[in-house]
Amino acid sequence: MATGAYGISFGAIALAGGLDFWQTMALSLLMFTGGSQFGLVGVIAGGGAPIAGAATAIMLGARNALYGLRLSELLDVRGGKRLLAAQLVIDESTAMSIGRDSDRAARLGFYATGIGVFVCWNLGTAVGLVGASWLSDPSLLGLDAAAPAAFLALLAPRLRGREAWAVALAAAVVALIVVPLVPVGVPVLIAALVGVIAGLLPGRPAGTNDPADSDGPDHDGNDGGAADTRRHDGGEVDGRAEPGGA
């Protein structure tokens, strides 16, 4: 049901963005990946070149290729069935197949979820198109803001930790800077490039602590908050032998 509702919003947004009924339905039937479809429509609706929209859609859907690598052994399909199964490789079907107790349960989860989402998504797209077509001007609903809102909803769960936030903010700043300098749709690609570069940079060496996590020097000048060594039976104080110890 949630997927159908999401499909309704896509159908209405696509129509408001300038696509016709058959173009929008072709996207849902053939592309069948919500994030990529919203990305393509968002760029085109903003006046961007179709090639920029296509590039955005490809980058957003690249994760499905990684899903396919994992699922190819699990599903064990050949020939034409392999092409049909590839069409159903999405976030939901992958999540419902990986980690099952048996291969049979994994395949059942994959196909049941994939087919169910496919049907609901396309029916929702059609309903959204028909509903929006009854309006004299669908753009009056302000649906142009729904695509960016959908992207933020997809992005928010992935912003965990300071590094993720830093990369996201850096990409956003770069995109805003280049907006007046490049065609519509290209800032999104440049922002994605910032994320790719950040991912290729070497990470912090293992075992290296953040300075903020350090306790700092203690009152006696010992680094790292080390506790003073008190007098023990060995006659040592602060690691030095005390005369007359023992």
Per-residue model confidence as pLDDT tens digits over 22-59: 999 999 999 998 888 988 888 887 777 788 888 888 88
- Residue with tokens 């700092």, as numbered in its chain: 216
- As given in the structure block, the two tokens for residue 129 are 């198109």
Element containing residue 168 per DSSP (H, E)? helix 162-178
Element containing residue 236 per DSSP (H, E)? strand 236-237
Highest average pLDDT, of 23-32, 141-150, 183-192, 218-227, comes from 23-32
Say if residue 196 is exposed, middle or buried (CB neighbours under 10 Å; 0-12, 13-18, 19+). exposed
- As given in the structure block, the two tokens for residue 82 are 């392999």
Answer yes or no: are the C-beta atoms of 132 and 16 closer than 8 Å. Answer: yes
Of the two residues 115 and 60, the one the predictor is more confident about is 115
Q: Other C-beta atoms within 10 Å of 112: how many?
A: 13
Confidence check: pLDDT of 114 > 60: yes
Answer yes or no: are the C-beta atoms of 144 and 17 closer than 8 Å. Answer: yes
Strand blocks (E) in the chain: 236-237, 240-241
pTM above 0.85, yes or no: no
Answer yes or no: are the C-beta atoms of 154 and 163 closer than 8 Å. Answer: no
- Residue with tokens 């440049």, as numbered in its chain: 190
Could you give the angle at the alpha carbon of 111 between the alpha carbons of 110 and 112, nearest 5°? 95
CA distance 176 to 169: 11
CA distance 112 to 92: 10
Task: Give SS3 for 74.
Answer: helix
Phi/psi at 34 (5° precision): -55, -50
- As given in the structure block, the two tokens for residue 236 are 């040592």
DSSP state of 99: T
Task: Give SS3 for 237.
Answer: strand
Element containing residue 240 per DSSP (H, E)? strand 240-241
What tens digit of pLDDT does each residue of 204-218 get?
544 444 444 444 444
Q: Other C-beta atoms within 10 Å of 9: how many?
A: 20
Residue type, 159: L
pLDDT of residue 111: 95
CA distance 177 to 179: 6
